[in-house]
Structure 1
Amino acid sequence: MSMLSTPFMNSTSTPTEQLKIVIVGHVDHGKSTFVGRLFHDTGSLPEGKLEQLQKIAERRGVPFEWANLMDALQSERDQNITIDTAQIWFQTKKRQYVIIDAPGHKEFLKNMITGAANAEAALLLIDANEGIQEQSRRHGYLLNLLGIRQIAVLVNKMDLQGYSQERFNQIEKDYRAFLKTIGVEPKLFIPIAAKHGDNIASKSANMTWWQGATVLEALDQFKVSDLPDNQPLRFPIQDVYRFDDRRILAGRIEAGSVKVGDKLLFSPSNKVSTVKTIERWNAPVSESANAGESIGITLTEQIFVERGAVAALETAPPYELNRFKARLFWLGRQPFKQGKIYKLKLATQEADCEIESIEKIIDASTLETISREGEKPYVGRHEVAELTIRTKRAVAFDKHIEIVPTGRFVIVDGFEVSGGGIVAEDNYPKRTSDSLQKSNNIFWSKGKVTAKQRALVNGHSGCVLWLTGLSGAGKSSIANELERELFNIGKHAYVLDGDNIRHGLGSDLGFSPEDRKENIRRVGEVAKLMADAGIICITAFISPYRADRDLVRKMLEGSDNQFVEVYVNAPVEICEQRDPKGLYAKARANEIKEFTGISAPYEAPLRAELELQTSKLTVAESVAKVLDFLNVQDEGTTVSI
């Protein structure tokens, strides 16, 4: 077999334009054969490689197959000898092409969050002999999910159908109809026979009825997307290196641009510093960098930043929340279950996550909505879901429609990438640049009504009764009964319950030590305001860390209102026997991580004003002890603390 003479083989000048493409297709629909032939017809094979493989086939007494060529190149790539996905694989007169190897769904999903996987176009192969398969439909859905809009469908193995125009037209009609239902509009369909080179680099003599483009002509019709330089800066930190006394934050700019002197916000830690220098490897010094560049930066202030942080200009930060709506494609062997903890990877961030709610499940092959009434919600293999994902800590992200790299993610189940998806549109609250500024012109405002005047009218002074203890110790039961008793004798009291706060004021927080601290800080600020209004504010929070409770105590220092720490004390084994919400059982089954008393610590108070041993006291007895401590009398007019 001699090398074909093509207009692409002996180009004297190398084009500088580059396009990344992905080639997908059902098993045995001829992907390897097609790519091998593509290399050959564009003169992109290593010197002597074709002849070498032809001789090997001849010695073995077997026919040469183009797929063998791809197997050989794949073997070399696995050994890191010849090629990898970062190299140019073939070129036309117009541009260079990089093929993003996608041997399977999982591998493609695994790479979708990296820069190397930013495919701008796709070739999707369908076997003319076998026709449209389930996998063909799933590939279409997956490409749509990943936001790849430039798609050409190659109807391969036309030789096995006698190069029938009718067969080609039928496949095009059927597959176009399917793709239209998922919002995909292919640029064109092309009939090919990869084994014989029909319509790859030159028009086929066997399909004179075809007047459209060849595959290479179709590729050259695709447009190279402009790098997202005009978008807000997104610079995920991949690693931090130390050189001498410098700390260099390294990563790839996914969107926007950065320059020396820019003030950066690092999410989700919300630390701010200014770019001092921009570092490059074996490249000229420059004071700016753009999307697509891998760089390092140093900062004027040595703040603590680690892998996973996303740098943005202070004026245009990403969303920073612990829940978002998503569209997800699931490929795991085990279903994606509600109530189970998984690992979410978004840019360079990693966070534990779980399904908060599932709005819709779709069969990716038939597009039928799947109903699972009476079953515990889950997403099965090869299903697509519209759902809400909750992470254990805040993550930085963008809507996929706005900024692609920080708007897509993968889900890891155990050690396997099992699903991937995009952040869907929703009304997410976003931190503004103004909120990051600490003004020196804000002062505490005192009204004309004093605390003593409020106490005189209310019949008591305001205070904060802080009930702390393990889940199941009885905090909420005591707090609610105490509120009722105080109300019945004309006192102004209100309960701030832990679960209720998590629905609103703390809805963006997880259960990491940092998020727990922030949750208690917010509650403390609200409790302080309520006490200032003359209310007996009763809080029922696990609040496991002494430092967090002491922080609230300090908030009330110097005010006319007091902080009363009430230790609701019950041994963990008693709490586990009660387990009113079934949380201990889930924690023991490892379905809830960082659960206080099981996998996270509880620091008992050292100087609580009151202790209630609820393993010995009833709720009524506990409430009576609190009322005695407050010196509340039915006929009295004051709360004496």
Structure 2
Amino acid sequence: MHNNQNRSESAKIINENMNIVIVGHVDHGKSTIIGRLLADTNSLPEGKLEQVKETCRRNAKPFEYAFLLDALKDEQAQGITIDTARVFFKTKKRKYIIIDAPGHIEFLKNMVTGAARAEAALLVIDAQEGIMENSKRHGYLLSMLGIKQVVVLVNKMDLIDYNQRRYEQIVEEYRAFLSQIGVEADLFIPISGFMGDNVASISNKMPWYNGNTVLEKLDLLNNQKGVKDQVFRMPVQSIYKFTAGGDDRRIIAGTIDTGKIRVGNEVIFYPSGKKSKVKSIERFNASRINEDIAGSATGFTLEEQIYVTRGELACIIDERKPEVSTRIKTKLFWLGKENLSSNRGYYIKVGTQRVRADLEEVITVLDASTLSTTTRQYVQRHEVAEVIFKLEKEIAFDRAENLTETSRFVLVDNYEISGGGIVVDSLEDGKDWLREKVDRRNIKWIESAVTKEERGIRYAQKPIMILISGKKELGKKDIARYIERGLFIEGRNVYYLGIGNVLYGIDADIKEENSMEDREAHFRRFAEISNIMLDAGDILIATADDIQESDMNIINTVIDSSDVKLLWVGAVNDHNLPIALHVEENEIKEEIYLKVKKMLLDAKVLFDPLNY
């Protein structure tokens, strides 16, 4: 009768949810605790507990609550809501998702996808074995994830005869460690997952403990201050375009990290700075809504069609801006097989952004278990460090102190996730002055009455800049004009712009000195004129002698890098340049033209308007 009553109460509608992550050293009893929570909250399928107990009896094997997880995993194909990472149960107050972190690598893999974005953590320590190195490393990972509510479960108290002194010794030692890394445990609870002591009900075997049970403490934890009330952030996952049955929607899709979005909001995408207004909010196979909030996998259409790409961060214009930079200061946890060093190239993933990253400086290295520090310029496996990365191109993010969700990242080394952490600061990279100008331009920009999509259909092309560079006296202007004439004859809207046209025209007021400041000013104006030409829907053929990486950084700050193709003529001295097409000195212009045309066709710059 009691069980049926509990099942009836648990069947009532519960609107409150909470994500909990559970961590702990191998064999410290996580699976047993999870199994006990499922059983004691009546969250198991009907008869599952009895079935597992009967299986153990027939096999002459002692029953353990950890077996419940294995039994449920075997039934995934039958629709049971459990997998290797997440376990679902509920109390009278709320529904819980317990995220199991079986190892550091799995933990880090989930940092960006959202699975590890828990509001609280259960950290398990074996009362008999005591505090292990992994106990400290997990504590540090929770610190880096910004999880403030931590409950420490001192498990297997039955194996030490419920010894109060041993429990207090662990509490004192681990509390001191946590304080050094800025984490304060909400509560230490002495438990036995195997016997059920202090999990769902108070144990009479530890009269010296007068605190909450695990379930009581979970229900007392606070839901994170609504992520829906924070600034809006949505990493762009995909762009979906429809054509069937007259449906011409272009949906910007992703999962909302924080905040909320409404029809009519003016959105801006970083790092490109492109903006538009939300026309409609779309959900798969669901009724139309006017607002969506954090945690939702959603999509929206725009009043003015702009070309954004996967990896951009969608924000609302009148809210706090994210950071944008190519240099970032981070705190990370390293798990790679090889040392983290400046001799290797990495990729950093922040949200849906994926950018090449080079280690610029190791500020300090901290051993997560001993908390000793060193200033050497590499990071070894299982070490925590504060480091600076130089990125191949700009990314958009938030400082961890402002918004944890969009500060988290993972590092990929040779196709494997090998580290992860948080961005703590955006560093000067020499382009802040330019970003301010571009941001102001984008916000003040008045859209044309003709959309880029309409121009694309009319011209049967997408706007793009083909920038031709190389050493002086290699006939780049002749090549550019040959390409321009060839595309024009084929009916394309195309224009040739040499940087000299800008230098002696719109740039005539700039001093004719060969300083870096003057060069940056020339290239900024060159890029802004090019941006206007691209907005008009043209294919722009441009030339500039001896383009450098710093010049390309300016151009790609003003113009979306996906709209620029660099064609290099002759010997290449700087292999950091994003060269899309390389041709030899004195190569026949007709052959170059055919290569350029193939590149444009492959990139779908030139197309049949009926299939656009």
TM-score past 0.5 threshold: yes
- CA displacement at 1:534 relative to structure 2: 4.7
Q: Which runs of 5+ in 1 are unaligned?
A: 441-465, 474-519, 553-567, 576-582, 588-592, 607-641
Given the superposition, is the C-alpha separation of residues 226 and 605 from structure 1 closer, same or farther in structure 2, using an over 3 Å criterion?
Answer: farther
Distance in 2 separating the partners of 1:227 and 1:241: 29
Distance in 2 separating the partners of 1:354 and 1:192: 46
- CA displacement at 1:427 relative to structure 2: 6.1
Distance in 1 separating the partners of 2:299 and 2:138: 37
Distance in 1 separating the partners of 2:104 and 2:183: 19
Percent identical across equivalent pairs? 46
Matched with 1:469 is 471
- CA displacement at 1:58 relative to structure 2: 1.9
Structure-to-structure mapping, 1:233-632, within 5 angstroms: 233-244=232-243, 245-316=248-319, 317-372=321-376, 377-426=377-426, 429=432, 431=436, 434-438=440-444, 469=471, 532-535=510-513, 547-549=542-544, 601=582
Q: Is the 8 A contact 1:235 1:251 kept in 2?
A: yes
Amino acid in structure 1 at the alignment position of 2:182: G
Structure-to-structure mapping, 1:9-158, within 5 angstroms: 9-11=7-9, 13-77=12-76, 81-84=80-83, 89-158=88-157
- CA displacement at 1:305 relative to structure 2: 1.8
SS of the residue corresponding to residue 117 of structure 1 reads coil
- CA displacement at 1:49 relative to structure 2: 1.3
Distance in 2 separating the partners of 1:125 and 1:431: 48
Q: Deviations over 1:140-164 (max 9, x none)?
A: 0000000001000000011111100
Distance in 2 separating the partners of 1:86 and 1:28: 17
SS of the residue corresponding to residue 287 of structure 2 reads coil
Given the superposition, is the C-alpha separation of residues 521 and 55 from structure 1 closer, same or farther in structure 2, using an over 3 Å criterion?
Answer: farther
Amino acid in structure 2 at the alignment position of 1:328: L
SS of the residue corresponding to residue 582 of structure 2 reads coil
- CA displacement at 1:530 relative to structure 2: 8.8
Cα RMSD for the two superposed structures: 3.6
Given the superposition, is the C-alpha separation of residues 300 and 531 from structure 1 closer, same or farther in structure 2, using an over 3 Å criterion?
Answer: closer
Matched with 2:563 is none
Distance in 2 separating the partners of 1:401 and 1:170: 33
Amino acid in structure 1 at the alignment position of 2:26: V
Amino acid in structure 1 at the alignment position of 2:359: I
Q: Is the 8 A contact 2:175 2:184 kept in 1?
A: yes
Q: Is the 8 A contact 1:6 1:41 kept in 2?
A: no
Given the superposition, is the C-alpha separation of residues 248 and 208 from structure 1 closer, same or farther in structure 2, using an over 3 Å criterion?
Answer: same
Q: Which runs of 5+ in 2 are unaligned?
A: 447-467, 475-497, 524-539, 548-567, 588-612
Given the superposition, is the C-alpha separation of residues 21 and 548 from structure 1 closer, same or farther in structure 2, using an over 3 Å criterion?
Answer: farther
Given the superposition, is the C-alpha separation of residues 78 and 383 from structure 1 closer, same or farther in structure 2, using an over 3 Å criterion?
Answer: farther
SS of the residue corresponding to residue 547 of structure 1 reads strand
Distance in 2 separating the partners of 1:332 and 1:412: 9
Out of 425-434 and 172-181, give the one that drifted further. Answer: 425-434
Matched with 2:189 is 190
- CA displacement at 1:72 relative to structure 2: 2.1
- CA displacement at 1:386 relative to structure 2: 0.5
TM-score, normalised via structure 2 length: 0.72
SS of the residue corresponding to residue 52 of structure 1 reads helix
Distance in 2 separating the partners of 1:144 and 1:526: 56
SS of the residue corresponding to residue 106 of structure 2 reads helix
Distance in 2 separating the partners of 1:6 and 1:122: 30
Q: Deviations over 1:357-387 (max 9, x none)?
A: 1101110110100343xxxx22111111101
Q: Is the 8 A contact 1:531 1:537 kept in 2?
A: no
SS of the residue corresponding to residue 194 of structure 2 reads helix
Out of 421-430 and 263-272, give the one that drifted further. Answer: 421-430
Out of 241-250 and 353-362, give the one that drifted further. Answer: 241-250
Q: Is the 8 A contact 2:29 2:155 kept in 1?
A: yes
SS of the residue corresponding to residue 105 of structure 2 reads helix
Distance in 1 separating the partners of 2:126 and 2:504: 65
Given the superposition, is the C-alpha separation of residues 114 and 361 from structure 1 closer, same or farther in structure 2, using an over 3 Å criterion?
Answer: same
Q: Is the 8 A contact 2:469 2:543 kept in 1?
A: no
- CA displacement at 1:249 relative to structure 2: 1.1
- CA displacement at 1:133 relative to structure 2: 0.3
Given the superposition, is the C-alpha separation of residues 413 and 171 from structure 1 closer, same or farther in structure 2, using an over 3 Å criterion?
Answer: same
Amino acid in structure 2 at the alignment position of 1:271: K
Given the superposition, is the C-alpha separation of residues 102 and 76 from structure 1 closer, same or farther in structure 2, using an over 3 Å criterion?
Answer: farther
Distance in 1 separating the partners of 2:347 and 2:354: 7
Given the superposition, is the C-alpha separation of residues 527 and 154 from structure 1 closer, same or farther in structure 2, using an over 3 Å criterion?
Answer: farther
Distance in 2 separating the partners of 1:130 and 1:7: 39
Q: Is the 8 A contact 2:335 2:381 kept in 1?
A: yes
Q: Deviations over 1:476-524 (max 9, x none)?
A: xxxxxxxxxxxxxxxxxxxxxxxxxxxxxxxxxxxxxxxxxxxx989x8
Matched with 2:179 is 180
Given the superposition, is the C-alpha separation of residues 529 and 603 from structure 1 closer, same or farther in structure 2, using an over 3 Å criterion?
Answer: farther
Given the superposition, is the C-alpha separation of residues 142 and 212 from structure 1 closer, same or farther in structure 2, using an over 3 Å criterion?
Answer: same
Given the superposition, is the C-alpha separation of residues 85 and 284 from structure 1 closer, same or farther in structure 2, using an over 3 Å criterion?
Answer: farther
Q: Deviations over 1:83-123 (max 9, x none)?
A: 34898711112111111121111112111112333200000
Looking at CA atoms only, which structure, 1 or 2, has the larger radius of gyration? Answer: 1
Given the superposition, is the C-alpha separation of residues 571 and 84 from structure 1 closer, same or farther in structure 2, using an over 3 Å criterion?
Answer: closer
- CA displacement at 1:536 relative to structure 2: 6.1
Distance in 1 separating the partners of 2:218 and 2:515: 68
SS of the residue corresponding to residue 116 of structure 1 reads coil
Q: Is the 8 A contact 1:233 1:257 kept in 2?
A: yes
SS of the residue corresponding to residue 360 of structure 2 reads strand
Amino acid in structure 1 at the alignment position of 2:392: K
SS of the residue corresponding to residue 54 of structure 1 reads helix
Q: Is the 8 A contact 1:24 1:102 kept in 2?
A: yes
Given the superposition, is the C-alpha separation of residues 217 and 526 from structure 1 closer, same or farther in structure 2, using an over 3 Å criterion?
Answer: farther
